[in-house]
Amino acid sequence: MYFSHFFSSLTKRSNIPVVIYLLLNVLIITTIVYAILLSKNQGAAEPNVFLCFFLAILFYFVSILIALSPVGEWILRKQTGCKEISRKEQIEKINPIFQEVYAKAKEKYPVLPDDITLYVKAKSKKKKNDEDEGPNAFAAGRKTICVTESLLYCPEDQIKAVLAHEFGHLAHHDTDVILVITVGNFIITAFISIVLIIGAIIKFIFGFMSHSKGGGAIAGVAGLLITVFFVFIINMMSRLWSQIGVWLCMKSSRDNEYLADEFSFELGYGASLCAFLDDVAGGCKAEGVFAALASSHPDTDDRISRLQSLGCDYKKSYGSQEK
Protein backbone atom coordinates (compact mmCIF):
# COMPACT_ATOMS: atom_id res chain seq x y z
CA MET A 1 0.00 0.00 0.00
CA TYR A 2 2.79 2.41 0.89
CA PHE A 3 4.72 1.71 -2.32
CA SER A 4 1.58 2.16 -4.44
CA HIS A 5 0.91 5.49 -2.69
CA PHE A 6 4.42 6.67 -3.53
CA PHE A 7 4.18 5.78 -7.23
CA SER A 8 0.68 7.25 -7.52
CA SER A 9 1.91 10.51 -5.96
CA LEU A 10 4.33 10.89 -8.88
CA THR A 11 1.34 11.46 -11.17
CA LYS A 12 0.60 14.82 -9.54
CA ARG A 13 1.26 17.80 -11.78
CA SER A 14 3.52 19.38 -9.18
CA ASN A 15 5.77 16.32 -9.33
CA ILE A 16 6.44 16.52 -13.09
CA PRO A 17 9.95 18.03 -12.55
CA VAL A 18 10.69 15.23 -10.08
CA VAL A 19 9.59 12.57 -12.59
CA ILE A 20 11.88 14.15 -15.19
CA TYR A 21 14.71 14.04 -12.65
CA LEU A 22 14.07 10.35 -11.95
CA LEU A 23 14.05 9.58 -15.69
CA LEU A 24 17.34 11.43 -16.07
CA ASN A 25 18.67 9.23 -13.29
CA VAL A 26 17.79 6.15 -15.34
CA LEU A 27 19.56 7.59 -18.40
CA ILE A 28 22.66 8.40 -16.33
CA ILE A 29 22.72 4.89 -14.89
CA THR A 30 22.25 3.47 -18.40
CA THR A 31 25.28 5.44 -19.59
CA ILE A 32 27.41 4.23 -16.68
CA VAL A 33 26.36 0.60 -17.19
CA TYR A 34 27.13 0.94 -20.90
CA ALA A 35 30.59 2.39 -20.15
CA ILE A 36 31.38 -0.40 -17.67
CA LEU A 37 30.32 -3.16 -20.07
CA LEU A 38 32.22 -1.48 -22.91
CA SER A 39 35.41 -1.41 -20.83
CA LYS A 40 34.97 -5.10 -20.03
CA ASN A 41 34.55 -6.04 -23.69
CA GLN A 42 37.91 -4.46 -24.59
CA GLY A 43 37.31 -3.98 -28.29
CA ALA A 44 34.74 -6.72 -28.77
CA ALA A 45 31.15 -6.06 -29.82
CA GLU A 46 29.54 -3.01 -28.25
CA PRO A 47 27.05 -3.63 -25.41
CA ASN A 48 23.36 -3.77 -26.25
CA VAL A 49 21.87 -0.38 -25.42
CA PHE A 50 18.45 -1.85 -24.63
CA LEU A 51 20.05 -4.35 -22.24
CA CYS A 52 21.87 -1.50 -20.48
CA PHE A 53 18.60 0.45 -20.25
CA PHE A 54 16.80 -2.58 -18.80
CA LEU A 55 19.56 -3.13 -16.24
CA ALA A 56 19.45 0.56 -15.29
CA ILE A 57 15.69 0.40 -14.70
CA LEU A 58 16.12 -2.80 -12.67
CA PHE A 59 18.91 -1.34 -10.53
CA TYR A 60 17.00 1.87 -9.93
CA PHE A 61 13.76 0.08 -9.06
CA VAL A 62 15.60 -2.06 -6.50
CA SER A 63 17.26 1.04 -5.07
CA ILE A 64 13.83 2.71 -4.70
CA LEU A 65 12.46 -0.32 -2.85
CA ILE A 66 15.43 -0.25 -0.49
CA ALA A 67 15.11 3.52 -0.05
CA LEU A 68 11.45 3.19 0.97
CA SER A 69 12.27 0.42 3.45
CA PRO A 70 13.44 0.80 7.07
CA VAL A 71 17.00 0.36 5.77
CA GLY A 72 16.59 3.41 3.56
CA GLU A 73 15.27 5.50 6.42
CA TRP A 74 18.22 4.41 8.58
CA ILE A 75 20.59 5.56 5.83
CA LEU A 76 18.79 8.92 5.59
CA ARG A 77 19.08 9.41 9.36
CA LYS A 78 22.81 8.82 9.08
CA GLN A 79 23.07 11.24 6.15
CA THR A 80 21.21 13.98 8.02
CA GLY A 81 22.98 13.51 11.36
CA CYS A 82 20.03 12.21 13.38
CA LYS A 83 20.99 10.39 16.57
CA GLU A 84 19.03 8.84 19.41
CA ILE A 85 18.24 11.10 22.35
CA SER A 86 20.26 9.69 25.26
CA ARG A 87 20.67 12.51 27.77
CA LYS A 88 18.22 12.22 30.64
CA GLU A 89 17.40 15.91 30.83
CA GLN A 90 16.67 16.07 27.10
CA ILE A 91 14.36 13.05 27.31
CA GLU A 92 12.53 14.53 30.30
CA LYS A 93 12.11 17.82 28.46
CA ILE A 94 11.01 16.72 24.99
CA ASN A 95 9.37 13.31 25.37
CA PRO A 96 6.15 14.44 27.15
CA ILE A 97 5.75 17.25 24.59
CA PHE A 98 6.36 14.86 21.70
CA GLN A 99 3.87 12.29 23.01
CA GLU A 100 1.16 14.93 23.52
CA VAL A 101 1.48 16.23 19.95
CA TYR A 102 1.80 12.69 18.58
CA ALA A 103 -1.51 11.73 20.21
CA LYS A 104 -3.26 14.76 18.71
CA ALA A 105 -1.77 14.06 15.28
CA LYS A 106 -2.91 10.42 15.41
CA GLU A 107 -6.40 11.51 16.41
CA LYS A 108 -6.59 13.81 13.37
CA TYR A 109 -4.80 11.41 11.00
CA PRO A 110 -5.19 7.83 12.34
CA VAL A 111 -3.12 6.21 9.56
CA LEU A 112 0.08 7.82 10.85
CA PRO A 113 2.59 5.06 11.73
CA ASP A 114 2.53 3.90 15.35
CA ASP A 115 6.30 3.92 15.70
CA ILE A 116 7.36 7.45 14.71
CA THR A 117 10.53 8.19 16.65
CA LEU A 118 12.09 11.47 17.77
CA TYR A 119 15.82 12.07 17.28
CA VAL A 120 18.19 14.92 17.98
CA LYS A 121 20.44 16.50 15.35
CA ALA A 122 24.11 15.83 15.98
CA LYS A 123 26.19 18.99 16.22
CA SER A 124 28.00 19.91 13.05
CA LYS A 125 31.73 19.25 12.99
CA LYS A 126 32.11 22.43 10.95
CA LYS A 127 31.01 24.51 13.93
CA LYS A 128 32.46 25.08 17.35
CA ASN A 129 31.38 22.73 20.13
CA ASP A 130 29.29 25.41 21.79
CA GLU A 131 27.40 26.29 18.60
CA ASP A 132 24.21 24.72 17.32
CA GLU A 133 22.22 25.14 14.13
CA GLY A 134 19.51 27.15 15.84
CA PRO A 135 15.98 26.08 16.83
CA ASN A 136 14.80 23.79 14.06
CA ALA A 137 13.27 20.42 13.23
CA PHE A 138 12.68 18.29 10.16
CA ALA A 139 10.87 15.12 9.14
CA ALA A 140 12.94 12.44 7.43
CA GLY A 141 11.56 9.40 5.68
CA ARG A 142 8.29 7.99 7.01
CA LYS A 143 8.87 7.55 10.74
CA THR A 144 11.53 10.05 11.77
CA ILE A 145 11.34 13.52 13.28
CA CYS A 146 14.59 15.19 14.24
CA VAL A 147 15.08 18.32 16.37
CA THR A 148 18.10 20.45 17.13
CA GLU A 149 19.15 20.89 20.73
CA SER A 150 18.42 24.62 20.47
CA LEU A 151 14.73 23.89 19.92
CA LEU A 152 14.55 22.55 23.49
CA TYR A 153 15.20 26.08 24.78
CA CYS A 154 12.11 27.45 23.02
CA PRO A 155 8.78 27.97 24.84
CA GLU A 156 6.90 24.70 25.18
CA ASP A 157 3.97 25.86 23.04
CA GLN A 158 6.34 26.72 20.20
CA ILE A 159 8.01 23.30 20.41
CA LYS A 160 4.58 21.70 20.12
CA ALA A 161 3.77 23.84 17.09
CA VAL A 162 7.00 22.87 15.33
CA LEU A 163 6.50 19.16 16.05
CA ALA A 164 2.91 19.39 14.78
CA HIS A 165 4.23 20.93 11.56
CA GLU A 166 6.61 17.99 11.09
CA PHE A 167 3.83 15.49 11.80
CA GLY A 168 1.97 17.26 9.00
CA HIS A 169 4.81 16.47 6.61
CA LEU A 170 4.71 12.80 7.61
CA ALA A 171 0.92 12.67 7.29
CA HIS A 172 1.13 14.12 3.77
CA HIS A 173 4.07 11.86 2.74
CA ASP A 174 6.10 14.93 1.78
CA THR A 175 9.47 13.30 2.47
CA ASP A 176 8.94 10.15 0.38
CA VAL A 177 10.45 11.56 -2.81
CA ILE A 178 13.37 13.04 -0.88
CA LEU A 179 13.99 9.60 0.59
CA VAL A 180 14.09 8.09 -2.89
CA ILE A 181 16.31 10.82 -4.32
CA THR A 182 18.93 10.88 -1.57
CA VAL A 183 19.02 7.23 -0.51
CA GLY A 184 18.26 5.80 -3.97
CA ASN A 185 21.13 7.74 -5.53
CA PHE A 186 23.39 6.76 -2.63
CA ILE A 187 22.63 3.04 -3.10
CA ILE A 188 23.23 3.16 -6.87
CA THR A 189 26.47 5.10 -6.42
CA ALA A 190 27.68 2.71 -3.70
CA PHE A 191 26.87 -0.33 -5.86
CA ILE A 192 28.67 1.06 -8.92
CA SER A 193 31.66 2.08 -6.80
CA ILE A 194 31.95 -1.37 -5.23
CA VAL A 195 31.71 -3.10 -8.64
CA LEU A 196 34.37 -0.84 -10.13
CA ILE A 197 36.79 -1.25 -7.22
CA ILE A 198 36.34 -5.03 -6.99
CA GLY A 199 36.86 -5.29 -10.75
CA ALA A 200 40.05 -3.21 -10.55
CA ILE A 201 41.38 -5.30 -7.64
CA ILE A 202 40.69 -8.58 -9.48
CA LYS A 203 42.33 -7.21 -12.62
CA PHE A 204 45.36 -6.14 -10.59
CA ILE A 205 45.69 -9.55 -8.90
CA PHE A 206 45.44 -11.50 -12.16
CA GLY A 207 47.75 -9.06 -13.91
CA PHE A 208 50.33 -9.45 -11.15
CA MET A 209 50.09 -13.25 -11.21
CA SER A 210 50.30 -13.55 -15.00
CA HIS A 211 53.38 -11.37 -15.46
CA SER A 212 56.75 -12.42 -14.19
CA LYS A 213 58.15 -8.96 -14.79
CA GLY A 214 57.16 -5.87 -12.89
CA GLY A 215 55.47 -4.14 -15.82
CA GLY A 216 52.19 -5.97 -15.28
CA ALA A 217 52.12 -5.11 -11.58
CA ILE A 218 52.85 -1.43 -12.26
CA ALA A 219 50.07 -1.29 -14.85
CA GLY A 220 47.73 -2.99 -12.38
CA VAL A 221 48.52 -0.46 -9.63
CA ALA A 222 48.04 2.42 -12.07
CA GLY A 223 44.69 0.98 -13.16
CA LEU A 224 43.59 0.57 -9.54
CA LEU A 225 44.53 4.17 -8.70
CA ILE A 226 42.69 5.47 -11.76
CA THR A 227 39.60 3.48 -10.74
CA VAL A 228 39.71 4.86 -7.19
CA PHE A 229 39.98 8.40 -8.56
CA PHE A 230 37.09 7.72 -10.96
CA VAL A 231 34.97 6.39 -8.07
CA PHE A 232 35.78 9.52 -6.05
CA ILE A 233 34.59 11.74 -8.91
CA ILE A 234 31.40 9.68 -9.28
CA ASN A 235 30.64 10.07 -5.55
CA MET A 236 31.20 13.84 -5.61
CA MET A 237 28.97 14.24 -8.66
CA SER A 238 26.33 12.00 -7.09
CA ARG A 239 26.20 14.21 -3.98
CA LEU A 240 25.78 17.32 -6.09
CA TRP A 241 23.13 15.62 -8.24
CA SER A 242 21.23 14.54 -5.10
CA GLN A 243 21.29 18.11 -3.78
CA ILE A 244 19.85 19.32 -7.08
CA GLY A 245 17.15 16.65 -6.84
CA VAL A 246 16.12 17.69 -3.32
CA TRP A 247 16.07 21.35 -4.34
CA LEU A 248 14.01 20.54 -7.42
CA CYS A 249 11.63 18.43 -5.35
CA MET A 250 10.96 21.20 -2.85
CA LYS A 251 10.75 23.94 -5.48
CA SER A 252 8.05 21.95 -7.25
CA SER A 253 5.98 21.48 -4.09
CA ARG A 254 6.27 24.60 -1.93
CA ASP A 255 2.61 24.17 -1.01
CA ASN A 256 3.73 21.30 1.24
CA GLU A 257 4.96 23.86 3.77
CA TYR A 258 1.62 25.66 3.81
CA LEU A 259 -0.21 22.35 4.23
CA ALA A 260 2.08 21.33 7.11
CA ASP A 261 1.46 24.75 8.71
CA GLU A 262 -2.27 24.16 8.30
CA PHE A 263 -1.92 20.75 9.97
CA SER A 264 -0.27 22.44 12.96
CA PHE A 265 -3.03 25.08 13.01
CA GLU A 266 -5.75 22.44 13.00
CA LEU A 267 -4.12 20.76 16.01
CA GLY A 268 -4.44 24.07 17.86
CA TYR A 269 -0.90 25.41 17.52
CA GLY A 270 -1.38 28.11 14.87
CA ALA A 271 -0.56 31.13 17.03
CA SER A 272 2.45 29.39 18.57
CA LEU A 273 3.76 28.48 15.12
CA CYS A 274 3.42 32.11 14.02
CA ALA A 275 5.35 33.21 17.10
CA PHE A 276 8.08 30.68 16.36
CA LEU A 277 8.33 31.84 12.74
CA ASP A 278 8.58 35.46 13.85
CA ASP A 279 11.06 34.80 16.66
CA VAL A 280 13.58 32.31 15.31
CA ALA A 281 12.71 30.57 12.04
CA GLY A 282 14.24 33.25 9.85
CA GLY A 283 17.63 32.78 11.46
CA CYS A 284 17.83 29.00 11.06
CA LYS A 285 20.54 27.74 8.74
CA ALA A 286 20.48 24.07 7.79
CA GLU A 287 23.36 22.09 6.34
CA GLY A 288 23.76 19.16 4.01
CA VAL A 289 20.75 17.53 2.37
CA PHE A 290 18.17 19.63 4.19
CA ALA A 291 19.83 22.95 3.40
CA ALA A 292 18.02 22.75 0.05
CA LEU A 293 14.71 22.35 1.88
CA ALA A 294 15.29 25.39 4.07
CA SER A 295 16.26 27.55 1.08
CA SER A 296 13.04 26.66 -0.72
CA HIS A 297 10.66 27.36 2.17
CA PRO A 298 8.06 30.07 1.52
CA ASP A 299 8.64 33.53 2.93
CA THR A 300 7.97 33.74 6.68
CA ASP A 301 5.49 36.61 6.28
CA ASP A 302 3.61 34.65 3.62
CA ARG A 303 3.34 31.65 5.93
CA ILE A 304 2.07 33.77 8.81
CA SER A 305 -0.36 35.55 6.50
CA ARG A 306 -1.70 32.20 5.32
CA LEU A 307 -2.19 31.05 8.93
CA GLN A 308 -3.97 34.32 9.79
CA SER A 309 -6.30 33.80 6.82
CA LEU A 310 -7.20 30.40 8.26
CA GLY A 311 -8.38 32.12 11.42
CA CYS A 312 -5.21 32.14 13.50
CA ASP A 313 -5.50 34.79 16.23
CA TYR A 314 -1.95 36.11 16.10
CA LYS A 315 -0.61 39.63 15.77
CA LYS A 316 2.98 40.67 16.17
CA SER A 317 3.50 43.37 18.76
CA TYR A 318 5.44 46.42 17.56
CA GLY A 319 5.31 48.20 20.89
CA SER A 320 3.05 50.92 22.25
CA GLN A 321 2.18 53.86 20.03
CA GLU A 322 1.46 56.10 23.01
CA LYS A 323 3.72 59.08 23.66
* 297 contacts: CB under 8 Å, gap ≥ 6: 250, 254, 257, 303
SS3 state at 263: helix
With bands split at pLDDT 50, 70 and 90, how would you rate the model's confidence at 265? Answer: very high
Q: Smallest Cα–Cα separation from 295: which of 239, 241, 246, 236?
A: 246
Question: Distance between CA 20 and CA 27 in Å, rounded?
Answer: 11
CATH placement of domain 77-174+254-309: 3.30.2010.10
d(C-alpha 285, C-alpha 11), whole Å: 32
Task: Give the pLDDT confidence of 270-294 residue by residue, as tens digits.
Answer: 999 999 998 875 544 445 444 445 5
H/E stretch holding 144: strand 144-147
Residue 62 pLDDT > 60, yes or no? Answer: yes
Residue 303 — φ and ψ, nearest 5°? -65, -45
Q: At what angle do helices 255-264 and 300-309 cross, to 10 degrees?
A: 50
Decide if 222 contacts 63 (C-beta within 8 A). Answer: no
CA separation for the pair 216, 205 (Å, rounded): 10
Highest averaged pLDDT of the listed ranges 209-223, 227-241, 261-275, 289-303: 261-275
Rounded to an integer, the average pLDDT of 217-229 is: 71
Q: Where are the domains of the chain?
A: 2-67+176-251, 77-174+254-309
CB atoms within 10 A of CB 242: 22
- State the pLDDT confidence band at 110, using cuts at 50, 70 and 90: very high
